[in-house]
Amino acid sequence: MSQPRPAHKRILLKLSGEALMGDDAFGINRGTIERMVAEVAEVVGLGVQVAVVIGGGNIFRGMAAGAAGMDRATADYMGMLATVMNSLALADAMDRQGLVARVMSAIAIEQVVEPYVRPKALQYLEEGKVVVFAAGTGNPFFTTDTAAALRGAEIGAELVLKATKVDGVYSADPNKDPSATRYATLSFDEAISKNLGIMDATAFALCRDQKLPIKVFSILKSGALRRVVMGEDEGTLVHA
């Protein structure tokens, strides 16, 4: 019997730095990152091309007191370096689990990682490698959400996956309101009118303009990533 085919061939996975912390106050929890990589390995095994953008909040959180009152651009550049650290850790964990990962940075640190070059990134994806985009957009004042939307559009991703700690977008905070219901689908206009705050405004506008759908799901839920790429009812789909 033939295996079912994934609903999506190429995806951009947006991970927050906080997702790597597990139960720790900051930094990287080894067990958590290994479990996430196992989920990614499963979908790569299905033939899905995977790119990743990761935040740096887990590392920057440990420097929060020292960064208080800092110039915004300087703080953003520090945040970019934090994403490079997370990207290297993620790529190392992938290599340990048999995946081939390539880290590409939006800022030049050629002794550490290679620079982002779009044709090279596309080549890696076609070869079945996981591409991890580091350092956001390479510019201050733009979030890693915006980097995910930008890179997703550039590589022709079919879907941007916003990995969170909640299994979708709800009508209210499910931790505070037991009657809150999960939206299976939302249009971009509905999400804006309801002020749901799925991504920052710049990232959201870019996805809407490029008609690049966003799937919000829980990265903590076992097997959720596979169900998303198979087109099952998992998380919330935000579309044009």
* Confidence at 10, pLDDT banded by 50, 70, 90: very high
Q: pTM here? A: 0.92
Please check if 14 is assigned to a binding site: yes
pLDDT at 1 over 70: no
**Domain for residue 123, yes or no?**
yes
Per-residue pLDDT averaged across 181-189, rounded?
A: 92
User: Domain of 187?
Assistant: 10-239
Per-residue pLDDT averaged across 14-26, rounded?
A: 84
pLDDT at 230 over 60: yes
Please check if 139 is assigned to a binding site: yes
CB of 235 closer than 8 Å to CB of 168: yes
Distance, in Å, from the CA atom of 221 to the CA atom of 187, rounded to the nearest integer, reads: 24
Nearest to 61 by CA among 32, 86, 27: 27
CB of 73 closer than 8 Å to CB of 140: yes
**Domain for residue 94, yes or no?**
yes
**Domain for residue 4, yes or no?**
no
Please check if 142 is assigned to a binding site: yes
Total number of domains constituting the chain: 1
Please check if 137 is assigned to a binding site: yes
Q: What is the CATH classification number for the domain harbouring 163?
A: 3.40.1160.10
Name the residue with higher pLDDT: 118 or 195.
118
Among 21-30, 93-102, 140-149, 164-173, which is the least confidently predicted range? 21-30
**Domain for residue 70, yes or no?**
yes
Listed in sequence order, the residues at least 6 apart from 235 whose beta carbon sits closer than 8 Å to its beta carbon are 167, 168, 215, 216, 217, 218, 224, 228
Number of C-alpha atoms within 13 angstroms, CB side, residue 14? 26
Please check if 194 is assigned to a binding site: no
Per-residue pLDDT averaged across 142-163, rounded?
A: 96
**Domain for residue 1, yes or no?**
no
pLDDT score recorded for residue 36: 94
**Domain for residue 2, yes or no?**
no
pLDDT score recorded for residue 62: 59
Please check if 60 is assigned to a binding site: no
